[in-house]
A and B are shown apart, each in its own frame.
Chain A
Amino acid sequence: MRYTFRLYIGLIIASLVLLAAGPAAAFLSISAETDRESVEINDSLNLIVTVSGDSASVPEPNLPQMNNFNIYSSGRSQNISIVNGKITTSVAFTYILSPRFIGKQKIPPIPVFDGKEKYVTREIEITVVKAASTAQAPQPQTAQKTRAAAGAQTSLKPEDAIYMTAETDKKAAYPNEQVNLTIRFYTAVSLTSNPQYIPPQFKNLIAEDLPPARNGETVIKGVRYYHTDIKTAIFGIEEGPAAVNPATIIAQVHKESAIDPFDPNFFQKFFSLGAGEGETRQIQSPTASLRILPLPEGAPASFKGSVGNFSLSADISPKEVKTGEALNLSITITGKGNLKTITAPTPPDMPDFKVYNTISSLDISKENDVIGGKKVFTTVLIPRTAGRLTIPKIKFSFFDPEAKAYRELSCGPFEITVGKGDGEEKTFSFTHGGQAAGITPLSSDIRYVSDRAKPPITGTFAGRVSTLPVWINFFPVAAVLLSLWLARLNDFRLKNPMLFRFRKAHGEARADIAGAAEKLKTAQPEEAASILYDSLLAYLSDKSGYKVSGLTMKRARVLLKEKFPQAGEHSLAEITDLWERLEALHFSPAGATPEEGKYLLEKYTALLDLLEKDFKK
């Protein structure tokens, strides 16, 4: 027993030690800052969210819903360093925020989730002020034109006063070829606040914002419009039809009439924020269709689906190492195209090196509405042998949609000098702060379908129980009520024993008669007489409410007469007669004959009938 107890204690301590010795948590931090604390209502500000960690990849921040700003992703910039196998990564995600309302606006805490824990930034307060300067309305060219335009403005239909268009700069494109989508919001009426933009959903396309939203003015059919252009770069996923579903703008429109197009304050009226009562209008852009073309035949062996225009470079650092020491091979792909989808070039065979897994860093730029940037793939190599070693040529190919041709780039071969090390090959792994390397998440997806054919028994049972008809649940109520009634009855019986004896007396006497009859059948008249005597006394006792031990014939007659005045003299005389006869046989049983026994049995039976009738009168 004592040994077992010690064993348990030992196990508990061992478990605690093992838990304490578990891998240290990976480091992750997030911060957010804006490029200014105050912004004009018709301007925008940059929000930079920086996520840093000690792993090859860090999760993207999950921007909360902000009704007070329209948000556009502006790009990302990544720094990654590998020193002695320790990785540190820092990614700056840039967003452009366009305010919707004047006043103090808050950017709520921005969370990032690493699969285990959530980290958040601090809340940021931004002051949104009225536009300091507004564009001047173009001057009318002629008086005649002025009058015509003014007439057109005032007779504008509501659906023409505020509308949206969606256009792509190409109607057909190759997978991963950039197509620019322009969603333009026109309004000829003043708004009480900047409208809320709900981006479209895409079919067979992936999208990248191209901020900032651009504003301008134009005159269409004599009507002067203020317009906002929201640009998005879209990339086809696979061959086939693709579509941009409707985008939505929710705008608060002034209820007052249309603005005079040549009012010098025309532009400012679009931002007459908070003035007057607004009416909510929701406008949708039309659906834009696109065709994704198949890539032509003849792709080189190194082609992995990259489309755009890229350049390739590679670097090795350090160039002189000893056997067992790590060196980094960095392959950089720079250019225009969807760099997110570019995968690492297949490394050449390098039997002289031990090759570890490749990590990548990504910088995205969106200059002049062209998606591009730089992607760096870093692979750690450890030379196995000393001497002059060669890293073979590295090849990368892509499809150039402008030239409609495949291009193959290469760099290398590279030569490095490897000195003789201490004879021991160091093992290498990417680590979190010197601890054993964890799993590097590459992407996320739903879990696979279940092959469990049987539903859980608890669920099925619960389903059936909960769908039972409601009336079934009244049975327990009935049981409770019945038991309460029985308990009450029992209680009453205990409190009123004579009442129940009175009720049961006749039945018990009948049972005694049956018993006596049985005795007579077996030729035991003295036994029968004894049963009948006891039965008569018990019956009279129960009916009169007087205990048997103190009951005399005279008292019985008196009590019965008192209790049942309707009982006839004949009945009482019969009681006396039967009592005397049975008493005589009870005290001298030798005189009992079967004939007499039968006679007394019949007499008692008849007396019971007579008395019961009398008692019920």
Chain B
Amino acid sequence: MKKTILPLLFALFSAGSAGAYDRSVLAEYNDLYKSGSYQSALEGYKEIAVKEPYNPYAFYNAGNAYFRMNKPGLAILYYGKAFRLDPRDSDIRTNLDFAMRHTGQILVPEGLPKTLHYLYYFFSDLELRAAATSLWWLACLLFSLYTLKSGLRDKLRGTLLASVLALVGALMWITARSSSAFENAAVITAEGSAQLLSGPGETFKAYATLPEARLVKILDDTDDIYYEVGIPREGIKGWIKKTAAEKI
């Protein structure tokens, strides 16, 4: 057991040092971007994103390259990935909002105060899950101490209650976030538009077109060829080919 846990703890606490990409390599890709070689820069950014799946800036930069290449669907896809990793970053928010407006969508729903939207997305999904996990551990360990050490009960009571409340809060936040526009979401990446079918197959009628870059909710992805998707704003749902959209 000791042999399993120690490497895990090491991997966790070495998070800061690991994952740092060579700055000169990134500068090289940024130079390519600067000179207008967006495709070459994009390949570099994607390479970083594969090596560092928790690096939001790699996704953000890839989104920028796609935007410059006039591929708004893929740009929003990558900005969305970056936003999910670091929703507090001003550059990521701004560019995602810009790209969404550019395609007739909005990041902050109408009528919702910006501050509330900012707070709702203050923590990333991963941070919320990590917080819930850490609080779960803390609450369990405090409870163990509370039951074993009767002499410490008065001192531990407040901390234990606070950790349990924080855990409940984190879980509620995670639940609330499950209905966010970026949870189980996909972006239409097919050039031009994608057809929304009334069933998972060519035999079903196409009753709407979804323009490129449109954000949709994935309701079911068990089919090999089609996603069942919902478009909350219009209140419609249907099936689109998996090749026409990519999950954020």
Contacts and interface: CB of A to CB of B under 8 A. Distances in A.
B205 A456 contact: no
Contact of A449 (B15, B64, B131): B64
A282 interface: yes
Nearest to A62: B101
B95 interface: yes
A480 B143 contact: yes
A279 B11 CA distance: 59
B129 interface: yes
B144 A464 contact: no
A250 B207 CA distance: 8
Interface string B164-181: 000000000000000000
A280 interface: yes
Interface in B95-112: 95, 98-99, 101, 104, 110
B134 A455 contact: no
B227 interface: no
Interface string A457-475: 1111111111010001101
Contacts of B98: 444-446
Contact of B20 (A201, A453, A458, A464): A453
Given A447-B94, A449-B61, A459 B126 contact: yes
B30 A282 contact: no
B20 A476 contact: no
A564 B22 CA distance: 80
A466 B94 contact: no
Contacts of B104: 65
A480 B160 CA distance: 13
Contacts of A477: 140
Contacts of A465: 12, 126, 129-130, 133-134
A535 to B, nearest CB: 32
Contact of A453 (B11, B23, B33): B23
Interface in A240-296: 245-246, 248, 250, 279-280, 282
B161 interface: no
A110 B91 CA distance: 28
B91 A450 contact: yes
The listed residue with most B CB atoms (<10 A of its CB), out of A67, A449, A458, A483, is: A449
Contacts of B57: 450, 452-453, 455
A569 interface: no
Contacts of A445: 98
Contact of B195 (A282, A448, A450, A487): A282
Contact of A459 (B65, B86, B136, B212): B86
B56 interface: yes
B121 interface: no
Interface in B183-230: 191-193, 195, 205-209, 211-212
Contacts of B26: 451, 453
A606 interface: no
The listed residue with most A CB atoms (<10 A of its CB), out of B101, B140, B205, B207, is: B140
A475 B137 CA distance: 8
Nearest to A199: B211
A558 interface: no
Given A465-B130, A472-B8, A476-B141, A455 B55 contact: yes
Helix, strand, loop or mixed for chain B's interface? helix
Contacts of A203: 70
A250 B208 contact: yes
A111 B205 CA distance: 35
A479 interface: yes
Contacts of B211: 198, 201
Contacts of B195: 282
Given A459-B54, A460-B19, A483-B144, A282 B206 contact: yes
A482 interface: yes
A455 B56 contact: yes
Contacts of A475: 137
B232 interface: no
A198 B205 contact: no
A448 B91 CA distance: 8
A459 B56 contact: yes
B147 interface: yes
A448 B38 CA distance: 13
A553 interface: no
The listed residue with most B CB atoms (<10 A of its CB), out of A446, A454, A475, is: A446
B192 A456 contact: no
B239 interface: no
B30 A451 contact: yes
A459 B127 contact: yes
A29 B203 CA distance: 51
B60 interface: yes
Interface in A472-508: 472-473, 475-477, 479-480, 482-484, 486-487
Contacts of B205: 279-280
B158 interface: no
13 contacts: A62-B101, A201-B191, A201-B212, A282-B208, A459-B56, A460-B15, A460-B54, A461-B12, A463-B130, A464-B54, A476-B144, A480-B140, A486-B148
The 4 closest A-B pairs by CB, nearest first: A476-B140, A462-B130, A483-B144, A465-B130
Given A465-B126, A483-B147, 10 more contacts: A65-B233, A201-B191, A201-B212, A444-B98, A447-B95, A455-B57, A459-B56, A459-B127, A464-B12, A473-B133
